[in-house]
Structure 1
């Protein structure tokens, strides 16, 4: 028996040595939930009908994953409050309305659980020549556009993490390209003062991989779709349906990027379904999800130079 115990203990010790003691294991989601339209048309259903479907989908995807980080687009403030209520106790969010820096207009909120994550810092940038002028509209954009940034620390492992959530303009091509340039600079800025931090970007870019705006991001960041091995992919390729069941009209405009994939292990990548037998579209976009694991590390935060604050004129 002593010999058997020794073998067992030796095997457990080997497993412990093989697996780092303080790994983080995180699920990230980006999801355009479609704003609550007052007069839905076509196959779109009102938010009151879609809301419980969104809630059910999130409940399924979050089961057993309390350290998930959620990034949404097109969420009106009332919808943000609905999602917070439906997620249940223990969830908080960062993000402001793009129109007034408070509750006006659409938000790009990031949801997290304070029990799992310590919020270190947050900010919102307007995708314009003046990123910290509230409500500013950039270049040829039709509307104000923003990126929400949350700097977090994984409480169990001490891993520093930066998640960015954005929604590019649907009309202005120049605005999309300049927004991409601005965002990679913001990602560099937040990474530079946060040693060991993983920096992720999720969002609806209104740009497929052939678009120069996407290509700007992909030249300085890494699309997790390409980083995660193909055998770990699940679900759809296309992310936008437009509430149209004709798959020939679908497109790939929702993306997750990572600034530096070194040292990260990829467990899965998925584009989830949003249309089932009931015939009701949960949203006109499909959520994009990635599961990532890596070594925990206590971040050494430095004083970050806020080079992008104020009225710096990007792209002029």
Structure 2
């Protein structure tokens, strides 16, 4: 109880001190692997954690959420409960029956200008294509957004989920990082970039190094951080590894936090989300 109270107090203080989201050139971004609605999850099935998931998002109040493992029914549940949000994206097979890299955004704060996707493979424009030995299609969903208000800012948002097997999928993760780094200049041009990802790789890994050569990891660069130094916890509340990330170009993080919100022993997902407040970094072009 004491740790939960301290976590809530810390996040509350950060929220008070942080600039308001999406006013002018400030963004609040979340990355969240939602855990797909697996009927074999026992007490942690989606129906039992849906409310705590919604409460986590409502309290954090992000402008943008990059999700992984999202099924359409889950996305629709979130929008039904939080109607100021919309989400977009198609699933790994090009439809809406499987995992989406769903990007949620506050329609009163952001305007979606254009969006698209590609697959993490040697044929990235082929829907559902497999890459470098991965057993499931992996993909990127992206959108160009513009902030609403008197001061408007356009930026690129990219969301992805890398292959998950430990050793077997290391080549796929490396190639996936290289492909994203190669495509970012075409997608973004001179726009600032936000990338959200479950990389299934730790900060000392080669995939992280390859992406951090072109983007800054906000958890590593934020002047103020809160929460544990890990995100995957398998519904235990005890993080095993940092594998989820927010990475940026053209933004500076003010604060970053790994949120450990829960209700009793019920967690919103088997991953903790990360939330960060970002401001435009005009020194980066």
Q: Using structure 2 for the length normalisation, give the TM-score.
A: 0.85
Preserved CA contact (<8 Å) 2:24 2:152: no
Q: Secondary structure at the match of 2:260?
A: coil
- Residue correspondences, number: 256
Match status 1:84 vs 2:79: yes
Deviation, 1:36, is 0.3
Aligned to 2:29: 28
Preserved CA contact (<8 Å) 1:23 1:293: no
Deviation, 1:198, is 1.4
Preserved CA contact (<8 Å) 1:23 1:294: no
Preserved CA contact (<8 Å) 1:187 1:259: no
Deviation, 1:154, is 0.9
Deviation, 1:221, is 1.4
Deviation, 1:295, is 7.6
Deviation, 1:239, is 0.6
Work out the CA distance in 2 between the residues paired with 1:81 and 1:40.
20
Match status 1:271 vs 2:258: yes
For residues 40-59 of structure 1, the aligned pairs below 5 Å read 40-41=41-42, 45-59=44-58
Deviation, 1:155, is 2.0
Larger Rg: 1
Work out the CA distance in 2 between the residues paired with 1:91 and 1:279.
27
Match status 1:255 vs 2:222: no
Deviation, 1:185, is 1.6
Match status 1:102 vs 2:88: no
Aligned to 1:140: 133
Preserved CA contact (<8 Å) 1:243 1:281: yes
Aligned to 1:185: 182
Work out the CA distance in 1 between the residues paired with 2:164 and 2:236.
18
Q: Secondary structure at the match of 1:267?
A: strand
Match status 1:233 vs 2:225: yes
Gap regions ≥5 residues in structure 2: 1-22
Work out the CA distance in 1 between the residues paired with 2:24 and 2:199.
31
Work out the CA distance in 2 between the residues paired with 1:31 and 1:69.
11
Deviation, 1:187, is 1.6
Which one of 263, 269, 285 corresponds to residue 283 of structure 1?
269
Deviations 1:39-86 (A, max 9, x none): 115xx5110001011011111111xx6xx1111110111111111112
Aligned to 1:308: none
Work out the CA distance in 2 between the residues paired with 1:115 and 1:243.
33
Deviation, 1:293, is 2.0
Deviations 1:77-124 (A, max 9, x none): 111111111212x3221211112x120210011111233222111011
- Superposition RMSD on alpha carbons, in Å? 1.8
Aligned to 1:128: 121
Work out the CA distance in 2 between the residues paired with 1:163 and 1:97.
17
Preserved CA contact (<8 Å) 2:24 2:148: no
Match status 1:218 vs 2:212: yes
Deviation, 1:214, is 1.1
Preserved CA contact (<8 Å) 2:147 2:153: yes
Work out the CA distance in 2 between the residues paired with 1:260 and 1:293.
9
Q: Using structure 1 for the length normalisation, give the TM-score.
A: 0.77
Work out the CA distance in 2 between the residues paired with 1:108 and 1:160.
21
Preserved CA contact (<8 Å) 2:92 2:98: yes
